[in-house]
Structure 1
């Protein structure tokens, strides 16, 4: 699995050297923008240390590994983002790593491995922790027992400095254009390469490019073409706002703001227009009525 990671040679070399020299750190912090290979590297490192090969199901069932993701609460239970999506649950609050999950990690690391020489914990989006679970995790990192913990985050800035200091940081970098193309082709997403806006927005992240492509598929070709042109008059703007809010879920609307902001910046680099897109995102995140938000934006940009 580690050999399958593209464009992160330095990170892979550091991890392999740690295994070869038998100097495995108690905790690692994988840092870098989303979608550039941090999670697949964490899985590959776990495979190497636990001496096994994971499938999606075996990841969940291996007794010496737990993979922790941000969760929502639903009727007293914790559910992941993918589980909420599968159940078509609409959540207003953002998912987060919760104190219950950190307690689970602490309990897990307090026992002995069952199949391997060590226990392994991977915490996805570790920056989505409030102060209480972060402090609880800090205590666990001080005495991880016979375990290795990997935290995955976009930047050290989002974590407590005391947590960062207890981890060996491994930096992941955006992929070159050549490597980005290679990953997209291997993942059967080569069609993304025909969309320069998506490639530019990805900024070297195959994961971001694929996510953007999937978001774009939720927008009808007719609406997509209309959105790429500033409305000619207020009536057209109001009709467009109605169509956007009728056809698109809020997450897609938020992505659309970023997509159109980038598109129009490439066209005219107008800072005033860019500011309007940013305010639109803020209003949508503040749960202002979406149709009103789009009506205000699109009528305001008619004159541009």
Structure 2
């Protein structure tokens, strides 16, 4: 299934993208795409109830919100693509590099991205998002994917000056409002048999900047979920952003960063596309 949330910020309703490409309102079946709804059993029940149900069509002009609600943790992985590490001139990490992104950064996939006040090096990063479906702690790698509800597109926007030049951890360069577009859809795990074989891309003003594959991840999805669960429990609705392929603005020669009025388009095979226009915050 391709699940999403539609409506104005803070008032999103659950919806489904059907096989004909129409949006269908799921409000009569579930309260939200969040929490207990994300377990395998709940998703299987939803899939069965959707069959034959006369679900209202959603106006295609309706805003699409973040594809999962009530996100408790937004965990990110740095330098997790071998070709991106080479681009950055960084050594291959021996273990996943983890940092957190504030959940207040989360926004819809097509919402305006606001460049923070004082920012000088705002950058883009297309990433594969992993959405947790059931509580996970101290998992083995073999168990890990059983705790994944599905996958989505993430744009892990970054203000590099705040991240690299203002001391401390990366979180301050990653957490501005609108720096976490997720969606358009949560695509359930059964529709993505191999998360390590997905084409990923990002354009800025029509120019292809990132063109890569999840196959060049240093640490794959199963490894990441198991690894993170050794340090913290993962709860339904938590989002893991798994790293970015090469082509970020910081890696261009010379570096290129976002300015107000630019358009980003990005997508991952099978997971849909995002489109954002930048503006001054």
TM range (shorter): under 0.3
TM-score between both structures, scaled by the size of structure 1: 0.23
**Bigger share in helix:** 1
TM-score (normalised: structure 2)? 0.25
Larger Rg: 1
